[in-house]
Chains A and B, each alone.
Chain A
Amino acid sequence: MNTKALGERYHRQVILKELGELGQQKLLSSKVLVIGAGGLGSPVLQYLAAAGVGTIGIVDGDVVALSNLHRQVLYDTADIGLFKAERAAARLQQMNPGIAIIPYVLRLTNNNALDILETYDVIVDASDNFPTRYLVNDACLLLNKTLVYGAVSKFEGQLAVFNVLGNSGERTANYRDLFPVPPKKGEIANCAEVGVMGVLPGIIGTLQAGEVIKLITGIGKPLVNQLQTFDFKTNAWFTVAFYPSLETAALQTTDRATFINAVYEQVCTAAECIEITPADFNKLLSENNITIVDVREIGEQPGLNSFEHLQIPLRQLQECLDTIIGETIITLCQTGKRSRHAALILAGAFPSKKIYSLAGGLSGYQQSFQKEQK
């Protein structure tokens, strides 16, 4: 394409002094990977292609269905039964022949995710299921990639930007700082089960494209350490702050081998983590073959000496799974929060064992014990 046509195509955004030719060059030389070419992916892809993002990868292993078309506006009726990644690539290439579009007709897995994500600058989560969302988040943490997150349900949507590099080398909050572990399978219904208003992913996906453009060009401030929610029915926008936490850092995979061996599909199907009351905990104490794991940091007070236990801080739990034996495992901490995370990890690692978390933690346990004695 000649320079004049190129200049004309992007003219209306290049004349924005905040963007300018430099900003346009940044867009043209950037590489963005969009995971999911459905309701969210449709607007994300169209706006990124239109804005002149130089290389766009599209990951989607599904084919177009008739029931997709009320919201997945990248496709038409003739596309039904064809691979979304391929149809999207063809359509976007027609919209803008001056950029490169790379379709990946596959479902993202532990084995292929790192190799695909590695070559892109910014990743967009436009997927439609929790295993993929956690997989993409963890891959972005491992590869130090910024992730632009969007999700919808019925009449509401969520938007956030994760894992942006700060001035002092720190990273902003990620999906696990928001929701540390996936919900149980079946707890949260998907669009196929509960429905979704067609324009909703259009709104959220368009904003995701906007965040990508802000990140690449440096215009404005990306939505970091914040979750923005939108309610279609009331037009209410709500923004809440959340921050990186040490507890969720413990849930992250720290090397490629651990990532490849992590089980994402089963994360949501892990045996339900059962919280037990102090009274039930006392009953279990008298049984044989139970293992109690204190997941607090070494040295945290109060110390435990009234029963046998292992001490494995939550952040080291993944590496110490081998040291935990016994058929019934009870995790505990100060308030019951870290132990619940730990129990979910153990439930995933040991699906056949009984895993419990002491609800209310040692604080609650001591209080109930004191009440009993009065």
Chain B
Amino acid sequence: MKIKVNLLGQLADIAGRSTLELEGITDTETLQEKIHADFPALLTSTYRIAVGNTIVTENTPLQNGTVISLLPPFSGG
């Protein structure tokens, strides 16, 4: 099972890339554990998780091929 993760804004700078392809991630909580372990600076970053085209608030199961986006806030104007 493979998922794709898009990192937006400064999250891409933290991870050093704007997309990740991950195997064996079954839900959004496991995803967070994985990316926080791989990129510890994300642990203290503010962001929301979108599964497909919807921002999720609870742990959400993921399917093969799901595209996840991590959205940080921007302050600039």
Across the interface, which residues of A come within 8 angstroms of B73, CB to CB? Answer: 130, 151, 178-179, 182-183, 188
**A23 in contact (CB, < 8 A):** no
Please state if B44 and A242 are interface contacts (CB–CB under 8 Å): no
| Given A242-B54, A245-B57, also A154-B9 (CB < 8 A) | yes
Contact mask for chain A residues 139-158; partner B; CB cutoff 8 A; 1 contact, 0 none: 00000000000111110111
> Is chain A's binding surface mostly helix, strand, loop or mixed?
mixed
If A178-B48, A240-B55 touch, whether A196 touches B8 (CB-CB below 8 Å) is no
A239 at the interface (CB under 8 A from B): yes
Are A335 and B72 CB-contacts (below 8 A) given A36-B77, A241-B53?
no
Please tell me if the beta carbons of B8 and A229 are within 8 angstroms of each other in the complex. yes
Q: Which residue of B lies closest to A229 (CB)?
A: B8
Which of under 10, 10 to 19, 20 to 34, or 35 or more describes the interface residues of B?
A: 20 to 34
Complex contact A238–B9 (CB within 8 A):
no
In the bound complex, how far is the Cα of B10 from the Cα of A330, in angstroms? 30
B48 touches A188 (CB 8 A): no
Q: Which of A1-9, A37-45, A101-109, A318-326 contacts the other chain? A: A37-45
Minimum Cβ distance to chain A for residue B38 (Å): 18
Contact indicator A183/B8 (Cβ below 8 Å): no
Query: Given the complex, which residues of B lie within 8 Å of A240, measured CB to CB?
Result: 50, 53-55, 69, 71
- In angstroms, Cα B53 to Cα A227, docked, is 10
User: A71 to chain B: closest CB distance in Å?
Assistant: 10
Question: B72 contacts which chain A residues (CB < 8 A)?
Answer: 183, 188
Contact residue among A188, A241, A247 (Cβ-Cβ distance under 8 Å from B74): A188
CA distance A242 to B54 in the complex (A): 6
Known: A188-B10, A240-B69, A242-B48. A150 touches B57 (CB 8 A): no
Q: Is the beta-carbon distance between B74 and A158 smaller than 8 angstroms?
A: yes
Chain A interface residue number, banded: 35 or more
A227 CA / B59 CA spacing, docked (Å): 21
Q: Which of A10-18, A121-129, A307-315 forms contacts with chain B?
A: A121-129
The complex places the Cα of A245 from the Cα of B55 at a distance, in Å, of 12
Nearest CB in chain B: distance from A340 CB, A: 11
Residues of B within 8 A of A278 (CB): none
Instruction: Point out the residues of chain B lying under 8 angstroms from A335, CB to CB.
Output: 58-59
Instruction: Give the shortest distance, in Å, between B16 (CB) and chain A (any CB).
Output: 15
Residues of B within 8 A of A231 (CB): 8
Query: Is B75 in contact with A229, judged by CB distance below 8 angstroms?
Result: no
> Which B23-56 residues sit within 8 Å CB-CB of chain A?
44-46, 48, 50, 53-55
In the complex, residue of chain B having the shortest beta-carbon distance to the beta carbon of A131:
B75
Max count, chain A CB within 10 A of own CB: residue among B8, B53, B59, B74: B74
Contacts of A229 in B (CB 8 A): 8, 71
Q: Is the CB of A39 within 8 A of B77?
A: yes
Output the nearest chain A residue to B57 by Cβ-Cβ distance. Answer: A245
Give every chain A residue within 8 A of B50 (Cβ-Cβ): 240
Q: Pick the contact of B76: A41, A190, A272 (CB < 8 A).
A: A190
Task: Return A111 CB to nearest CB of chain B, in Å.
Answer: 22
CA distance A201 to B75 in the complex (A): 12
Q: In angstroms, how far is the closest chain B Cβ from the Cβ of A365?
A: 15
Contact of A156 among B8, B48, B59, B77 (CB under 8 A): B8
Min CB distance A179 to B, Å, is 5
Contact of A128 among B45, B53, B55, B75 (CB under 8 A): B75
A39→B57 contact, CB < 8 A:
no
> Residues on B close to A: CB < 8 A?
6, 8-10, 44-46, 48, 50, 53-55, 57-59, 69, 71-77
* 25 A-B pairs with C-beta separation under 8 A: A36-B77, A38-B77, A39-B77, A41-B77, A128-B75, A129-B75, A150-B77, A153-B9, A153-B74, A154-B10, A156-B8, A156-B9, A179-B48, A179-B73, A182-B73, A183-B73, A184-B46, A187-B45, A190-B76, A201-B76, A229-B8, A238-B6, A241-B55, A247-B57, A337-B57
Query: Which chain A residues have a beta carbon within 8 Å of chain B's beta carbons?
Result: 36, 38-41, 125-130, 133, 150-154, 156-158, 178-179, 182-184, 187-191, 194, 196, 201, 227, 229, 231, 238-242, 245, 247, 272, 335, 337
